Amino acid sequence: METAATVVLFALDVFVAVTAIGGGVALLTGLERARFSTRILARTPFRSFVVPGLLLAVGVGGSAAFAAVSVIVDQASGGVASLIAGLVLAGFVAIEGWIIEEKPGYTVTEVIYLVGGVVVAALGALVWRAA
């Protein structure tokens, strides 16, 4: 890791990986049952949180974890992996906020992660181009 952008990108990738994997596991194991009723899934094809939990843990968290490791191994491939991981995060949050019946609009947490996904994607592109 050579540049400040690469260090920040690595830190963001790790943060997203840890929180997404943790959130996905919490959904899968029912730890969020008191906070999230399956009623919020009414406009989705899902009737339980199993598939959304897997998508969050494996898709979002796994892509971010892969990106974090890639940034350490090779800046160019790490930048590309982070660009993709950021887009996966932003896409997941955008779709979640759009189809989940919780309340109108996006929550503050969703906005933070949506912006975070865009920032990770942009930093990934920057690091990739600089490598």
CA–CA separation, 77 and 69 (whole Å): 10
Domain housing 72: 4-19+59-130
Percent of the chain with pLDDT over 90: 78
Does the structure show a pLDDT above 90 at 7? yes
pLDDT for the residue 1: 52
Domain count, the chain: 1
pLDDT by residue (tens digit) across 73-122?
Answer: 999 999 999 999 999 999 999 998 888 866 677 889 999 999 999 999 99
Residue 48 lies in a domain: no
Task: Give CA separation, 42 vs 71, 72, 90, 101, 110, in Å.
Answer: 39, 41, 22, 7, 19
Q: What is the 3-state secondary structure (H, E, C) of 55-84?
A: HHHHHHHHHHHHHHHHHHHCHHHHHHHHHH
Q: State the pLDDT confidence band at 9, using cuts at 50, 70 and 90.
A: very high
